[in-house]
Amino acid sequence: MTEVTLDNITKRFGSETAIEDVSLTVRDGEVLSIVGPSGCGKSTTLRTVAGFETPTEGRIMFDETDVTDVRAENRNVGLVFQDYALFMNMSVMENATFGPRMKGVPKEEREAKAMELLELVGIEELADRDPASLSGGQQQRVALVRALAVEPEILLLDEPMTGLDAKLKKRLRREIGQLLTDIGVTTLYVTHDQTQAMAMADRVAVLNDGRIEQIGTPETVYEQPANPFVANFIGTSNLLPATANGEAVDLGFATVEVDELPTTDGDVTVVTRPDDFTLNGGPIQADVLDTFYIGGTVQMIVELPDGNQISLNVNPKQSDVTGVGPGDQVGLSLDASNVHVVS
């Protein structure tokens, strides 16, 4: 297994800076997700690790070895990209054994290994099929098997579940997540889908406009977002203006104690999550603007007396929301334990 280090990587295409001063380490056997909006530099980061792009500045290290100038084919990485790019003129087994065949691994050995991996992802019965006859999810698994068959030091996944339906994504997320943990291969996983990233990764790196905003466990980036960008990108946030005041922050409708107090008194922004509010006739008066039933939860958009809008999740089993709709006034309380100052 291998630790991957990006050491102050900048990549420019002409006057366009795709990534700037990106430093991160993917630890031995770790799954690290890179998330961020379209065009923020996720693929460029991955392509630089793969060796398809040479950084304008900085170094890429695999353990203690500087691979910045090592050609892609000489880096022992497995790749799974968005479009799978399976060889359509070869069977599933031929796809799965392609890499080892190129390396001169004997037929029996490479087929046994491929079969083991096909079994692991639950598609061993498809070994003789044409990729064109498989569903998207099955093709995706073949692509993963093909990448793993060469026993890569590092696995690079770029939006591998694009185009799959939500249910299948959820299943594959669980299965592939488990598989990566079992195999223990160091993995860099690129996606714009933060739910996917949170579910599969040991740590998440949030990228914005070519720069890293925060790296941490899924819990950390959700519960302690480093700034408003991360708070907004990871999960649903209610960013609210407040005044820091000695030991606490004053939100206007409530004063709450926070774990990390801002260093100076004055204007701050706090993040609250939709689950931090409870509709229970509490002291915070709010006007209902909209309600959406999203399966087991009612999402409600309300306006606070100071004009700020927040989103809250109501469990209809705990709070009676029958007949509550736009124009109604409701009383809320805020669980201050998760309130976090972001700027």
In this complex, which beta carbon is closest to ligand ATP, that of residue 190 or of residue 254? 190
Does residue 197 bind ligand ATP (CB under 6 A)?
Answer: no
In this complex, which beta carbon is closest to ligand ATP, that of residue 192 or of residue 211? 192
Q: Kindly determine how many residues on this chain lie close enough to bind ligand ATP according to the rule CB under 6 A.
A: 12
- Residue 191 Cβ vs ligand ATP, minimum distance, rounded to whole Å: 8
In this complex, which beta carbon is closest to ligand ATP, that of residue 140 or of residue 191? 191
Does residue 18 bind ligand ATP (CB under 6 A)?
Answer: yes
Find out whether 201 and 32 touch, Cβ atoms under 8 Å.
yes
Does residue 13 bind ligand ATP (CB under 6 A)?
Answer: yes
List strands edge to edge, sheet with 340-341.
255-257, 248-250, 238-245, 266-272, 340-341
**Residue ranges in 73-102 that form contacts with ligand ATP under rule CB under 6 A:** none
In this complex, which beta carbon is closest to ligand ATP, that of residue 40 or of residue 332? 40
Give the separation between CA 90 and CA 88, rounded to whole angstroms.
Answer: 5
In this complex, which beta carbon is closest to ligand ATP, that of residue 9 or of residue 92? 9
Give the separation between CA 87 and CA 145, rounded to whole angstroms.
Answer: 13
- Residue 233 Cβ vs ligand ATP, minimum distance, rounded to whole Å: 12
Which of 27, 59, 170, 192 lies at the binding interface for ligand ATP (CB under 6 A)?
A: 192
Which amino acid is residue 339, in one-letter code? V
**Residue ranges in 25-54 that form contacts with ligand ATP under rule CB under 6 A:** 36, 38-44
**Residue ranges in 113-132 that form contacts with ligand ATP under rule CB under 6 A:** none
In this complex, which beta carbon is closest to ligand ATP, that of residue 37 or of residue 305? 37
Does residue 143 bind ligand ATP (CB under 6 A)?
Answer: no
In this complex, which beta carbon is closest to ligand ATP, that of residue 164 or of residue 242? 164
Find out whether 120 and 177 touch, Cβ atoms under 8 Å.
no
The answer to whether the Cα torsion of 155, 159, 165, 169 is positive or negative is positive
- Residue 48 Cβ vs ligand ATP, minimum distance, rounded to whole Å: 9
- Residue 57 Cβ vs ligand ATP, minimum distance, rounded to whole Å: 15
Give residues in contact with ligand ATP (CB under 6 A).
13, 16, 18, 36, 38-44, 192
